[in-house]
């Protein structure tokens, strides 16, 4: 079984468990991380088939220029990006705009995330939510085997600069949706 099929199996197992518990589909979601664009052709089918929203954390962990390998094609220009965007446009995939330091090293404003964020928001402004990712734990790639079992320090992130920067990329309606309307829909507030 390859990695994507393991993830598909876990998603289905989780969905089945929620159904057995009598979970109401609007009050629950399944949150995943999946940075491999090549998996979205398969995950698109899975997202569309679920009775629950599938929430992709940290903007998919898709790397912006400051974190991508040197000379690599920007993620938004890779062919597989369209599979991912198709999954988003289908409507059962939600994106969490969170933890910019997991996608970019261009702190504090993370300007190189502009194309990723704006394409996500413009594709489905009703399917993006903001997340703080607080407390800010270490980046996955910065964790060292010799530190396993030791307490790791939290990252210092200038949240205010990031939020102000993000606010300049979005229209007033997109901003309102990101912070108020979409979380209300996803997490079924006031039902």
Q: Name the band, by pLDDT with cuts 50, 70 and 90, for residue 1.
A: low
pLDDT exceeds cutoff 70 at 25: no
Give the CATH number for residue 143: 3.20.20.140
17: in domain: no
Quick one: 144 exposed, middle or buried, by C-beta within 10 A (0-12, 13-18, 19+)? exposed
What total of structural domains would you count in the chain?
1
76: in domain: yes
Q: What is the DSSP letter of 138?
A: P
Across the range 134-145, mean pLDDT stands at 82
Which range marks the domain in which residue 98 is found?
Answer: 4-9+26-187
75: in domain: yes
Mean pLDDT of the chain: 92
* Helical residues (DSSP H) of 21-158, grouped into ranges: 40-49, 81-90, 114-123
16: in domain: no
14: in domain: no
Task: Give the tens place of pLDDT for each residue, 166-184.
Answer: 999 999 999 999 999 999 9
């Amino acid at each position: 079984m390859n990695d994507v099929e393991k993830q598909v199996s876990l998603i289905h197992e989780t969905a089945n468990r929620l159904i057995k518990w009598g979970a109401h589909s609007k009050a629950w979601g399944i949150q995943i991380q999946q940075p491999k664009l090549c998996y979205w052709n398969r995950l698109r089918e899975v997202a569309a088939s679920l009775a629950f929203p599938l929430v992709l954390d940290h903007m998919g962990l898709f790397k912006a220029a400051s974190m991508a390998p040197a000379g690599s094609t920007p993620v938004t220009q890779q062919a597989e990006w369209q599979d991912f965007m198709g999954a988003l446009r289908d409507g059962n995939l939600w994106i969490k705009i969170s933890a910019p330091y997991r996608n970019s090293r261009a702190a504090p404003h993370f300007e190189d995330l502009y194309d990723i964020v704006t394409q996500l928001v413009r594709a489905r402004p009703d399917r993006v939510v903001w997340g703080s990712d607080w407390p800010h734990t270490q980046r996955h790639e910065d964790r060292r085997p010799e530190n396993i079992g030791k307490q790791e320090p939290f990252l210092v992130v200038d949240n205010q600069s990031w939020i102000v920067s993000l606010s300049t990329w979005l229209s007033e309606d997109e901003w309102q949706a990101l912070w108020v309307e979409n979380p209300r829909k996803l997490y079924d507030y006031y039902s």
